[in-house]
Structures are given as C-alpha cells and as structure tokens.
Chains A and B, each alone.
Chain A
Amino acid sequence: MRMILLVVPFLLSLFVAWARHRVVNRVALLGTGAIYLAVVTSWWCSWDLDLEPAWLAGYFTVDPLGLFFLTVMVLVFLGSAVYSLAYFQEQKLSPGREAAYIAVMLLFVLAMTGVLLANHLALLWVFVEATTLTSALLIYFERKKSSLEATWKYIFICSVGIALAFVGIIILSMGSQSIGSLFFADLYLRAGEINPFWLKMAFAFIIVGFGTKIGVAPMHAWLPDAHSEAPSPVSALLSGALLNSTFLGLLRVQEIMIRAQQQEFANFLLLLLGFLSLLISAAFMLNIVNYKRMLAYSSIENMGILFIGISLGKTGIYAALLHSVAHSLAKGALFLTSGNILHLYGSKQVADIRGLLQRDPPTGWIWLISLFAIAGLPPFPTFLSKFLLVQAFFTAGQGWLSAPFLLFLLLIIFGMGSAVVAMTFGAAPAQAPGKIPLNLFAYGPQIIMLLVLLAIGLQIPAPVQAMLKNAAGFFH
C-alpha cells in the first residue's frame, strides 16, 4: 500500500490543478487525508496489500520508526486540511486559487511521505529537496512582499543546507566503497566496514545539511520568517510534519553512527546544536513581539530538545520520540489557532492582541490550553518527555547538563507564557466591522489534537506505547 500513498496525492494533485472546481478541490484534499488515515491504520493493525512491484518495494519500506512519524504526519495533515476549509472561506479564495493551494499541498505531503518511507539515503535526500520546492510555493501563497522575502530566505538557506547534506552523502559513499550501496539496510548491517574518518566527516556535513532543514541553531535563520509568513494551516504542516520528516532522515544516519560505534562524535554534535537552539530560542523568546514568530522560535527550541534526546541513549531516544509527537500536535494546534487570532485581530503583533477570551472564548481557551501542552505542564505528554530527558541526562552520566537544560526551558516558558497571558486576558479592543465569523473547521482540528495529547498524557494507550517502544527499539 506504499504505492497508494505515493500515487494518490500525485494523481489528485494533477486532477485538482486541471479541474479547478471547488467541490473537486475539497474532496481531493479531505479524501487524501482519509486515504492516508486508512492506510496508516491498516499498517497499525499489521495488515498490508503488496501492490507495488518488487524493485519499488525495495526503495520504500515501512519500519516502526517510519510508521511512527507517518502517523504523526497524517494527524497534523488531517488537522491542517480541515482547517484549510476555514482558511478558504476567510480569504474568499477563487476555485482556481484554492486548486493551486491544494495541488501544491498534496505534492508537499507526497514529498514528506517519500522522506518517511525511503529506504535509500540518496532517495531520502531527493524527497527532502522536493519538500523544499513544494513548501516554498505554499509559503509564498499569499503573494505579499514579506512572504516573498521569507520564501527567498527559505529556498536559499535550505538549498545550501541540502547541498551540504549531499556532500555528506558523497563523502559517506567514499568511506563505504566496500559496501557499494546507500540502502539503509546495507549501511546498518555493514556499518562497521565504513572508514570511521570519512563517516565522521560525512555525519558533520549531513547534520549541518539536514539540521538546516530541521531548523536548529545556528542554521535556523529561515525558520521564523517562513513559519510566520506562511498561511496558518501551512505553518502547522511545516512545523508539525516537515521538521519531523527531515529529523527522521537524521535519525537514520545517527543509527549508522551508533552501529559503527562512532556515536560519541555524533552525540557531541547533537548536544552542541541542541543546546545552541535552546539558547537562541530563550534569547529571542524573552523579547518576542510577533506571536507567529514566537511559535517558530518554539519550534527551534523543540527541535533542539529532540537533538539532545537522541544523543542520550535509549531513554533519551524514547523521550525524544514521545516529545516529537507531543510537539507536533501541540504546535499544530497553536499554529492553527494563530490563524484564528490573525483573522480576529488582523495583526501578528503581540501588543495588538488583548482580551482573546473576551473576543472569542473558544479561540482563547484553545490558545491557552495549547500553551500548557507545549510548555510541558502535566498531564500533557511534553511533561513526561521532558522529565524522561532529565532522567536520561543522569543515566548518560551527564546530569550536570540538566541544569542549563531546565534553565533554558524555564526562560522560554516565561517568555512564551507572558506573551500568551497578555494576549488572552484583559479587555478586547473594538472589533473591525465586516469580519466573517469563525466556523467549526476553525476550532475542531485543534480540539481533537489537544484531546489526543491529553489521552497520551494521562495514560499512554497500549498501542501508542508499543509503537513508541518499537520505534525506540529500532536503534541498535
């Protein structure tokens, strides 16, 4: 059924671009989401149809790690797709513009799926590149001066990053000439044969290259611009799904490092970039003026947390995976809600937003609860993941690092919390006339995302726990 996930969005994208009809647009968008959900659910139930030819099946596989990230992507995509209906209504888009948005979004989802299913390092790289090309068009969708600037920075910085990752892949192939293959299965199995020197150099290039795309500091310059300028449902996908999919690419390379027993070098770089990301986020978060940029800096912080997690052994990897699902859903809810706020107030400035609870209580409550979800307040799973990370620091013999880790988290929560509280409470300014009221599509996805988070946080359901353990157990 891998074939379905790769072919359906491609064909529907072409059909939508050709038909340019409102009903076709929406059926294609929601239909793709439903098909993805059905396929992922069937994989969860260990049920599959072998539709693809053998040569193709070798290039795309569904392992526990890939299925884990694919499930998260599908949840965020569904939320984003449903919210897009509210976005279309609010923006009063013509069927043609809607078709352009949906056609590119489907190609973007296809590219992310390719990254998650690729069983070949070079193929994974091609799909990462494809995510840049497709998402760039979505970031520029509103055709404003600021969105053009954001898109330019995004394409340029990420293209340089992707090019450097490619250098890493070439260097890896130089060091693994006896293996003669870039299939992950071969690289894992014969990791010990890779020349350690070339492997380390390759990892350094790949971590800088993929790290640029993941948005960790100091290669993060594009992220606050791109995530804040994209339409809100696209921002949710960028933050909740795209960052994760490239992160999976890095995880697969980290697995090669672990199997080649070069993890010390890898862990040092991961810790360095992780802490740098926390530092940069804390510095900007304390003086934040734009709430969409605030969410973007929070993404940098959380990607830093994931980097730190995977450098801390098995407990850290388990915590990082739990944190990635928690971050994706919470950030998805936050970005979608930021779309409501932008619609209600017409501004992205924190200073212009007051009395959210008074102006639109559902938006206010979702905004506030989503903050709790991202900040790590119990019972949300970010609490458990951060707690496990602190434990992992001690297990790895680096307990002293938990002090700066917690300090940075505290500063970030303080900065973000101050902005959110200031926006939520107090008296709302007079509303501009002629606003279309928000409909159920503008609240539903966030509420479901938060309910899923609560369910995971209160008692991790057995299948989710099994999947997390399977995914973490994937590491040697």
Chain B
Amino acid sequence: MSAILIVLFGTTILYIFAASRIEAFIKTLALQGLLLFLLILIDLHEINWWNIALLGLETLVIKTIVIPYFLLAVIRRNEIGREVAPNVSQLYALQIASVIFTFGFIVAFWAARTGTVAQPLYFGISISVIIASLFLIVHRKRIITHILCYMMLENGIFLLSLSVANEMPLLINLGVLLDLFVGIYLFVIFFDLIHAMYDGNNIDVLTELKD
C-alpha cells in the first residue's frame, strides 16, 4: 500500500511540470501533504504516539490545509494566475520530468542493492522530487512559484526523512521545524513585502543588485 502512495507522490511531479496555473500547483502540494499523512499512518509503527500526532498535525493540518490556504489567499489577493513564460518550454519540461521520475525508480532499485536502506522506494522517489524541485526553481520565473518549488523540495525531504523515521524520529521532527519557520513565516512575509515594494511578482524585477 505504501509503495502505491509513494509512486503516486512521485507522479505529482509530472502534473506540476505540466500545469502552468499556480492554483493547480498549490492544490498538488496539498495532495502531497495528504499522501505524506497517509504514509505516516501506514508506515510508522515504532515511534511514540505524540510524535505520530505531531507529524499528523504537520502533514494534515500544516501541509494539506494551512500552507495551501495561505498561498491561495496570497495569489488571489495579488491576482496571480499563470506562470509567466518559463525559461524552458512546457513540452521539454515535461520530458525532463519524465527523465527525473525514471531516475527516481533507477535510484530506488540501485539503493535496494546496497542493502543498507530499509525502504529503497522512499529514497528513490524523494531524491527525484528534490531534483525536480531544484530544476523547477531554475526553470520558473515567478517569485511565488519559487516558494511553491521550495515547499515541494520540503515535501521531498519529508518523504526522505520518513524512511529513517522509525530509527531516528528526531530527524523528521527537524524537518517539521524547517517547514514551520521558513515555509510559513519568512516566505509569506517577505513575499508580501516584495509585492508591495516592487509592484510585480516576477523575479526579473529583482535586478537592482548586480555587478
């Protein structure tokens, strides 16, 4: 069951690469949050109940509801609809996403052969989500999309930390910390500041500082 959820989590990359509407990106992030919540319920047996409760709160409440809600409010308030012309065409981006996704499977099989990783699929798919997020940060131009890509990067890292959660619950709690502080607090605040000060949301406006 968890393998199906992880693969489903991986396929969300393809959808994000194909979608140009920011709202679709945010809703996919919410879906990723829900998938992570289900994975916690299915896979984590060896950690104590309050840790499970904390992780449930993080995934179901923060990742699935609160962050998407705030981000949707931000894009509606600022009337942001679609991604502006990206650096690479959509078709090529989708092909690259397929390659990254395939790479995730290859990494998973190869990790299984090293024999040290308990759940290779976690590792393969999360690495592909992390690489996909980094690619999208370079590929997309809107500041809000960069925030969304960062959220996706965090989701990928969260998935990776789930693979060692039974042995090291501390790590997954730190992942939660990363989400809470950087994700909500600074990004939303500074995004609003930039929007107010620059009257635009394209990174092309941030060119005052250069050599």
Contact residues of A with B, CB < 8 Å?
A: 122, 125-126, 129, 133, 136, 145-146, 148-153, 155-156, 159-160, 162-164, 166-167, 169-170, 173-175, 177, 180, 182, 195, 197-198, 224-225, 228-229, 284, 287-290, 293
19 residue pairs from A and B, CB less than 8 Å apart: A122-B171, A129-B178, A133-B186, A145-B208, A146-B209, A152-B194, A152-B206, A153-B206, A155-B190, A156-B150, A163-B178, A164-B130, A166-B175, A173-B168, A174-B116, A180-B168, A195-B116, A224-B211, A284-B211
Name the contact of A288 in the complex, choosing from B190, B208, B211 (C-beta under 8 A): B211
Residue of A nearest to B146 (CB): A156
Q: Could you say which residues of chain B place their CB within 8 Å of the CB of A152?
A: 143, 190, 194, 206
Most buried by A among B130, B190, B209: B209
**Does B69 make an interface contact (CB < 8 A)?**
no
**Does B198 make an interface contact (CB < 8 A)?**
yes
Most buried by B among A125, A151, A156, A290: A156
Over the window 46-90 of chain B, the binary record of Cβ atoms lying under 8 Å from chain A Cβ atoms (1 yes, 0 no) is 000000000000000000000000000000000000000000000
Q: How far is the CA of A150 from the CA of B194 in the complex (A)?
A: 11
Do A198 and B116 touch across chains, with their CB atoms under 8 A apart?
yes
Name the contact of B134 in the complex, choosing from A160, A166, A169, A284 (C-beta under 8 A): A160
Do B198 and A170 touch across chains, with their CB atoms under 8 A apart?
no
Contact residues of B with A, CB < 8 Å?
A: 114, 116-117, 123, 130, 134, 137, 143, 146, 150, 153-154, 157, 160-161, 163-164, 167-168, 170-171, 174-175, 177-178, 181-182, 185-187, 190, 193-194, 197-198, 206, 208-209, 211
Q: How far is the CA of A197 from the CA of B153 in the complex (A)?
A: 23
Name the contact of B171 in the complex, choosing from A151, A153, A169, A197 (C-beta under 8 A): A169
Q: How far is the CA of A163 from the CA of B137 in the complex (A)?
A: 14
Interface SS of chain B: helix
Residue of A nearest to B130 (CB): A167
Most buried by B among A173, A228, A284: A173
Q: Could you say which residues of chain B place their CB within 8 Å of the CB of A170?
A: 157, 160-161, 163-164, 171
Do A175 and B116 touch across chains, with their CB atoms under 8 A apart?
yes
Q: How far is the CA of A160 from the CA of B117 in the complex (A)?
A: 25
Do A166 and B167 touch across chains, with their CB atoms under 8 A apart?
no
Q: How far is the CA of A146 from the CA of B210 in the complex (A)?
A: 11
Do B190 and A145 touch across chains, with their CB atoms under 8 A apart?
no
Q: Could you say which residues of chain A place their CB within 8 Å of the CB of B182?
A: 129, 133, 155, 159
> Sorted from nearest, which 7 A-B pairs have the closest CB atoms?
A225-B209, A149-B206, A159-B182, A195-B116, A146-B208, A170-B160, A173-B168
Whole-angstrom distance between the Cβ of B140 and the nearest chain A Cβ: 13
Name the contact of B167 in the complex, choosing from A153, A155, A177 (C-beta under 8 A): A177
Whole-angstrom distance between the Cβ of A219 and the nearest chain B Cβ: 12
Residue of B nearest to A125 (CB): B174
Q: Could you say which residues of chain B place their CB within 8 Å of the CB of A225?
A: 209
Q: Could you say which residues of chain A place their CB within 8 Å of the CB of B209?
A: 146, 149-150, 153, 224-225, 228-229
Name the contact of A174 in the complex, choosing from B117, B187, B198, B208 (C-beta under 8 A): B117
Q: Could you say which residues of chain B place their CB within 8 Å of the CB of A163?
A: 150, 153-154, 157, 178
Q: How far is the CA of A129 from the CA of B174 in the complex (A)?
A: 11
Do B181 and A133 touch across chains, with their CB atoms under 8 A apart?
yes
Residue of A nearest to B154 (CB): A163
Do A149 and B208 touch across chains, with their CB atoms under 8 A apart?
yes
Q: How far is the CA of A289 from the CA of B177 in the complex (A)?
A: 40
Q: Could you say which residues of chain A place their CB within 8 Å of the CB of B157?
A: 163, 166-167, 170
Whole-angstrom distance between the Cβ of B188 and the nearest chain A Cβ: 12
Q: How far is the CA of A253 from the CA of B64 in the complex (A)?
A: 35
Name the contact of B186 in the complex, choosing from A136, A177, A195 (C-beta under 8 A): A136
Q: Could you say which residues of chain B place their CB within 8 Å of the CB of A167?
A: 130, 157, 160
Q: Could you say which residues of chain A place their CB within 8 Å of the CB of B197?
A: 145, 148
